[in-house]
Structure 1
């Protein structure tokens, strides 16, 4: 199983720190957060993509995934007027173009909150229409579109393995795939391992991080309540050999370099114990 560094927690540091640390701490790849100041897609298209390519080449550290900022301000394709949805789609198509140019394998999206007045029909109609447009663009550029479920604290639209199954029944394409951030199923009392069994070949990626009941906080692996050593044993027994990004986010923004080191060391130790 390949381990990735998520760069959101480094947003107060130079982007180069991410590449330096991913290499010296033993990460296999970077999942690049697409927000300012580092990798906002319009900035990349205006020339900043050359800096990302330079860092990839300098440190021999691939950007396997690109995760644009799109769950709140100013982009959330699940809420607002049709013009706002179309603007979000235009932005995310540009993100797919930039993912392709930096040599990424996938781009990650997650349907956020659709607003308190949206009905299930309105939610699903809007979500499927949007993701179909993005999938068609992903097919053109040759990048996988990986769709992530979120917690009930983040979304009223897309929260479970069953939601992913429903989505794949409505959009049939090898370029749209699913993943599991292990916090959403844990805090919603859903089985983490059920994602692997239910999604089968559509299970493409994971976010590995610890959690606590009653919050969507992403906690240092091994320091929360998820039985992570046992989880890695189950993943090994299930034959999961895909990618897994260690998703430290803003809770560790004061010292991302120290915590990124601890996180990968903790995870590597648990993987070794599980036989990876």
Structure 2
């Protein structure tokens, strides 16, 4: 059993499917929602007729009964030569503003879709740049996005990402303090990342993060290795994690995150749902 959790699957793990086909697949399998990554193959935020395309996807989500969270982790949507670039940490202000404008656009798309949150992350600190400068740029850039999120009524859910400037729960709390704990600021908690690098267990991370949880990503992982794995291929003890999510009253989507497994996306989507519905028992 899934303890009443609302389960989703990330479209970044279904990139070999058209978006409409991916949504139909998830609905047919019985998922409650989708983590929709804005990318060139799925609701491209920079292709023509964005408003019309967004409206069409919103209608389709409603017809299929799928909830949605907007994710912004597309690898090359801004720069075809730099993975996840540019980030909010760039020394060049024009580069930083490219990312800021994309995140503001994502907030507006999320509002039009009726999404529960917009996910984002800090990015990797560029070589030669100081961490103090990086934290200042991150806070300044996210301040603009948070203003848009507050106006749109859509929470911004920042994800700690291994290897990034903001990579841990402690780093998230530093950002909260730097920004003055604004109401629209929330957390994306990736369960695999907890296993990878947090000192506490994934279940304890859920309990510690509960007041700020706005989005959850889930997959298997091994300690010290940032590799998203299908359920059963890593080390995570999932029943306590699922129980902790239920006990803390989390109401958002818990989205399977397997971005390197699109070649087997339909099969893994089915397997993942069976695993989670079985309570995460190996």
Q: Pick which of 105-114 and 187-196 moved more.
A: 187-196
Question: What's the counterpart of residue 50 of structure 1?
Answer: 55
Question: What's the counterpart of residue 213 of structure 1?
Answer: 223
CA distance in structure 2 between the partners assigned to 1:218 and 1:107 by the alignment? 21
Question: What's the counterpart of residue 162 of structure 2?
Answer: 151
Quick one: which of 257, 266, 273 aligns to 1:257? 266
- Deviation sequence 1:93-146 (CA, Å, 0-9, x none): 111111111111210001110113222211110111111111011111111100
RMSD value, Cα: 2.1
CA distance in structure 2 between the partners assigned to 1:253 and 1:177 by the alignment? 28
Matched, 1:31 2:32: no
Q: Pick which of 75-84 and 138-147 moved more.
A: 75-84
CA distance in structure 1 between the partners assigned to 2:176 and 2:199 by the alignment? 19
Question: What's the counterpart of residue 224 of structure 1?
Answer: 234
Counterparts in 2 of 1:182 and 1:57: CA distance versus 1, 3 Å: closer
Aligned-pair distance for 1:264?
1.0
Question: What's the counterpart of residue 195 of structure 2?
Answer: 186
Runs of 4+ with >6 A deviation = none
3-state secondary structure, aligned to 2:36: strand
TM-score normalized by structure 1?
Answer: 0.88
3-state secondary structure, aligned to 2:8: strand
CA contact (8 A) 1:5 1:22 kept: yes
Counterparts in 2 of 1:241 and 1:99: CA distance versus 1, 3 Å: closer
CA distance in structure 1 between the partners assigned to 2:276 and 2:38 by the alignment? 25
Runs (5+) with no aligned partner, structure 2: 76-82
Question: What's the counterpart of residue 13 of structure 1?
Answer: 17
CA contact (8 A) 1:221 1:228 kept: no
Matched, 1:99 2:103: no
Runs (5+) with no aligned partner, structure 1: none
3-state secondary structure, aligned to 2:115: coil
TM-score normalized by structure 2?
Answer: 0.87
Counterparts in 2 of 1:105 and 1:27: CA distance versus 1, 3 Å: same
Matched, 1:199 2:209: yes
Question: What's the counterpart of residue 171 of structure 2?
Answer: 163
3-state secondary structure, aligned to 1:216: strand
CA contact (8 A) 2:32 2:65 kept: no
Aligned-pair distance for 1:242?
4.2
CA contact (8 A) 1:42 1:94 kept: no
Q: How many residues align?
A: 267
Quick one: which of 256, 266, 273 aligns to 2:275? 266
CA distance in structure 2 between the partners assigned to 1:140 and 1:238 by the alignment? 28
Aligned-pair distance for 1:52?
1.2
Counterparts in 2 of 1:135 and 1:15: CA distance versus 1, 3 Å: same
- Deviation sequence 1:186-220 (CA, Å, 0-9, x none): 11142223433433421222111001234211111
Q: Pick which of 135-144 and 219-228 moved more.
A: 219-228
Aligned-pair distance for 1:83?
0.9
Counterparts in 2 of 1:194 and 1:167: CA distance versus 1, 3 Å: farther
